[in-house]
Amino acid sequence: MWMYLAGLVVLYYVVRWYRELARVPDRGNKYVYVTGCDSGFGNLLARHLDKCGFCVVAACFTEKGEEELKKSCSNRLTTTHLDVRKTESIDKVAAFIKNLVGNRGLWAVVNNAGVSVPSGPCDWMTLEDYKSMLDVNLNGVIGVTLSVIPLIKKARGRVVNVASVFGRISPVGGPYCVSKYGVEGFNDSLRRGLKPFGVKVLCIEPGFFKTSVTDTNLLIKCVRSLWDKLPQETKDDYGDDFVSKVEKVMEETFAKMPDSDLMKCVRCMEHAVSAVHPRTRYSPGWDAKMFWLPMSYAPTWFSDYLLLKDNPPPAKAVN
């Protein structure tokens, strides 16, 4: 019985592997719009898709990001400025792309732009802290997608949304997980809504990779900044040494977790864009596959215990 089941599992993965090898033809006439191309995944993806023969529209937040991409890519790649927090910026880029692609439509949009700060315990946050991150990580994804859906429909193309394993489980406080859970919800409803139009909607759920989103120094600086703004009553709840304890945990554990091989994620993003039969979800990173996703299916009491056991307790924690 077990041998039979094992054989079926092996057969399934062999068939899936073979089916996923096929790539879409005529890449030189297919345009792909990628956000957040200044650094990290977006920058590498823009370069990689350019090498694969696609016509890339790389949206950057800075002039420096645009200039560096232009120098390192072919003339098929076009750069543009984009601030996903601003509707007028989103609409301006959408109009530019519409004029660029003409009747062929837009083959794919990859919603990659995102930030990880401010991050900290929920009761250290203000509503404005939540709004500032949601404007980029969630509202930006929705706004960019809605602005080009007519062009995607015309090409019967793809929408690729970069969420996170933290869109499945919330080990940290603050708005980051909230924003990624929101991306997951938008992705699922969009996938079902656009299926009748021949549009594929795919989700990337990376684990920990070494990008600005997981920059330990940046996150520690954010924790200190949030602490300095707290009312004394909240500081008393946590204790004067709480921040130093958090910093130690982050330096000893969190700093060692990110995977430096960003291409593991970029290859998943490229597959979502170029495969004839892409997957609905991708989970790049062994930590995503072996720890975070299984943890998201575990009983709540178990995941709570495992994720809290190494956290420094507040001074006024109740035993």
Q: Which two tokens stand for residue 229?
A: 């703004």
The ranges assigned to domains in the chain are 26-209+261-285+292-304
Tell me, which fold does domain 26-209+261-285+292-304 have in CATH?
Rossmann fold (3.40.50)
pLDDT tier, 185 (very low <50, low <70, confident <90, very high otherwise): very high
More confident residue, 279 or 248: 279
pLDDT band at 133 (very low <50, low <70, confident <90, very high): very high
Percent above pLDDT 70 for the chain: 98
* Catalytic residue set: 176
Residue 115 — φ and ψ, nearest 5°? -135, 160
pLDDT averaged over the chain? 92
Q: What is the pLDDT of residues 20-54, one digit of tens each?
A: 888 999 999 999 999 999 999 999 999 999 999 99
Contact status, residue 69 vs residue 46, Cβ threshold 8 Å: yes
Phi and psi, residue 110, nearest 5°: -115, 110
Tens of pLDDT, residues 158-170: 999 999 999 999 9
92-123 confidence digits (pLDDT tens) = 999 999 999 999 999 999 999 999 888 889 99
What does the pLDDT average to over 287-311? 92
In the chain, % helix, strand, coil (3-state, to 5) comes to 60, 10, 30
Q: Look at residue 254 and tell me whether its pLDDT is greater than 80.
A: no
Highest mean pLDDT among 62-76, 171-185, 190-204: 190-204
List pLDDT tens digits, range 82-95: 999 999 999 999 99
62 φ/ψ angles, rounded to the nearest 5 degrees: -120, 155
* 76 pLDDT higher than 90: yes
Check the CA dihedral 128-134-135-136 and report its sign. Answer: positive
Q: What pLDDT was estimated at residue 95? A: 98
Compute the average pLDDT of residues 2-10: 78
Q: What's the mean pLDDT in 136-165?
A: 97
Give how far Cα 41 sits from Cα of 15, 92, 118, 144, 281, Å: 29, 24, 20, 18, 17
* Distance, CA of 234 to CA of 24 (rounded, Å): 56
Q: CB under 8 Å to 72, separation ≥6 — which residues?
A: 47
